[in-house]
Amino acid sequence: MAKIKKVINENYEGEFQLFFMCPACNDTHALNHTWDFNGDLENPTLSPSILTHGVMPDSNGEYKEFRCHSWITKGKIKFFGDCSHDKAGQKWFDLLDI
């Protein structure tokens, strides 16, 4: 299975979106065509780092702000220490299949 899903925007030549399943957030993160991508759907490398933030419900159903800051290299993901989830500062988890 692929670790990255690439969706091409047929209305604008060269534009696409990349989607991956984050093992820390247990949710899909999306990137636009401005990220450098090695083209490998199984073992992707993306740069620069990926910063995702917003609000999500916690286990009590209350909405809390979240921050996920990561780096993806050769199909593995490293989380920076400024993440709000429990994998903050941890390195090199396998990306989940999407």
> Is it the case that residue 75 has pLDDT exceeding 90?
yes
**Residue 41: Cβ within 10 Å count:** 17
Measure CA 55 to chain center. 16
Tokens matching residue 48: 């620069």
**Residue 77: Cβ within 10 Å count:** 27
> What is the pLDDT, as a whole number, of residue 9?
86
> What is the pLDDT, as a whole number, of residue 4?
95
Most distant CA pair in the chain, distance: 44
> Is it the case that residue 11 has pLDDT exceeding 90?
no
Concatenate the DSSP letters of all residues of 32-77 into one string.
ETTSEE-S-SSS--EEEEEEEEEEEE-TTS-EEEEEEEEEEETTEE
Average pLDDT of the segment spanning 43-67: 91
pLDDT above 90: percentage of residues in the chain:
73
